[in-house]
Amino acid sequence: MNDASPVRGTALLTKALDIVELISDSDNRLKFKDISERTGHSKSTLYRILSALTARGMIDLDRRDQSYVLGPKFTRMAGSINSSSDLIAVAAGPLKAIADLHGENVNLALLSGTAHITISRWQGRLAQPFDSPLGERKPLHATSLGKALTAFIPAPERQRLLSQLRLKAYTARTLTETAALDADLELTRTRGFAVDDNEIIEGVTCVAVPVFDPSGGIILAAISITAPSHRMAEARRLELASALQAATRHITAQLAPPRKPAAETVVTGRARVGVADIRGFSPRACGWSDALGGLVWHDGPAGSLVLQSGTDQRALAQFGRLDAACIMAGGDLAIAADDRLWRLDAATGEVVPWLEAMPPVSALAALSDGFLLLGQGRLARFDPVSGDTATLAEGLLDAPGFDFDGTAIHAVAENGMQVLALDLDGGSRALDLPVQGQLSGVLSDGQGGFWLAHRLNWSLCHVDAAGRVCHVPTPVPGAQGLARGRHPQELHAGSERMSLSQSILEVAPMAGALLHVELTGEA
């Protein structure tokens, strides 16, 4: 409430305005007893004021729980004020177009203390009418709008705000632990949009994105789209997030000339994620080469074998189709391309044919006396001198490739949900790892732990030797082609682009990038 001294002769008006302000600012719904305790007014005085405000539509009594909320007249007045603001005026066109095109409800909200308030919205053609008034305060932790508004404010301010929140459970899916909320906000910042998946209302899913000022550094608002969960499959969430992001770019451009922020490194509380925005078709990391002084990677559909050193790239070889490549003990490279096996001399850079006929292969690793090949679900030892192959395991998934650390082999079962430890004698056992979907990569970290990549997930998972799990958000989905860095805490990876839909590419414009991940803290 306002602590300023009332103007003489306006005591009753001041009391009424104080009550409206109290109802507006409260994170919780207030009943008669609550208002009486906070204002100190007598019951008779308070009853008269509340009755007058209710009669004029400034407040309203929700008879479901006998609590007071802002009334329709107040929200209409607030709406008329907001409608003349630059933000509402600029946002109205693109957000109404989204509501009309997709048939779902669209909201525009601002941060208000420890909550958010919706200041304008647009009804979708096929959607149910809105069931809450404009200006009603909603929790930050349980809504996509709240998470989008919170995730992008400066870290010190965000931590202060989070320390003030009461993480109330609205459904079984509500995030009620600070660590879980922190992780979700980190993921939101990395991928650029927030999701409320049945977290405030069972059966309702929302996607939200931030609206920045033209500098790109200050968050002004957030916009969301809301729909029943059965209409919000993963593919449609990405499509709608893309539509909202396009709208925010338009809104920011109309507010003032935009300035594109140039950031190639995402720093989280757990890791530093470097991004080389190469936009390949389907790049995969082969590994760090001391002999060549950089990361070797290949893009199979493009037929390219490339050396990456910092921001510099150098083409090592070009083929029609490149299936796999690996670094051998002496530093030379073995390349399976155009149905042949090739050898690249690390000293001279010369590429020469090694074997004229090569079995189908999706991944390979060098042994002292040959190679390990994965192709058509079969892992085999291959002797390039005789051309003989000896099967070690079958029923494997080709796409994730496999990991060979010199002694143990780790591959993915054909169901895509299980990591197998294999040995060179044909032994096999399943590992107990926290697989959370279709795997697109697995790599041992050399210290008893593992890196896991999941198809279309916007993060990498590191499991250390003690079983502690660290999720590292990435700015692109579907990391693949995992390879060790120079140090145990480092990882290189590629990412898929060619097979992604247009809606995913719009949300993840850097898909097809190379990732360099370095753990910086405890999991």
| CATH number of the domain enclosing 32 | 1.10.10.10
Q: Tell me what the mean pLDDT of segment 8-21 comes to.
A: 82
Residues 383 and 237 placed together within one structural domain of the fold: no
pTM (predicted TM-score)? 0.62
Query: For residues 411 and 379, is the Cβ–Cβ distance under 8 A?
Result: yes
**What secondary structure, in 3-state letters, does 297-363 show?**
EEECCCCEEEEEECCEEEEEEECCCEEEEEECCCCCEEEEECCEEEEECCCCCCEEEEECCCCCCCE
For the beta carbon of residue 42, count every other beta carbon within 10 angstroms.
10
- Model confidence at 295, pLDDT cuts 50, 70, 90, reads very high
The total number of structural domains in the chain stands at 3
pLDDT value, residue 2: 54
- Structural domain of 346: 265-519
- Whether the per-residue pLDDT at 277 is higher than 90: the answer is no
Name 443's bridge partners. Answer: 451
The reply to whether 4 falls in a domain is no
One domain, residues 114 and 231? yes
**Sorting pLDDT into bands at 50, 70 and 90, what band is 337?**
very high
Q: Are residues 292 and 429 in the same domain?
A: yes
The whole-angstrom separation of Cα 224 and Cα 312 is 39
> Token pair for residue 443?
């790599």
Rounded-to-integer distance, Cα 239 and Cα 16, Å: 46
| pLDDT range class, residue 237, cuts 50, 70, 90 | very high
Domain check: are 178 and 319 in the same one?
A: no
Q: Are strands 340-344 and 333-337 parallel, antiparallel or unpaired?
A: antiparallel
Residues 164, 243 within the same domain: yes
Q: What tokens appear for 392 in the block?
A: 């070690």
Greatest mean pLDDT among 51-65, 237-251, 493-507 lies in 237-251
Among residues 511, 459, 506, 513, which one has the least CA distance to residue 245? 506
**Cβ neighbourhood burial of 367 (10 Å; 0-12, 13-18, 19+):** middle
Asked whether residue 396 falls in the same domain as residue 443, the answer is: yes
Q: Is 456 inside any structural domain? A: yes
Residue whose C-alpha is closest to residue 114's, from 78, 134, 82, 138: 138
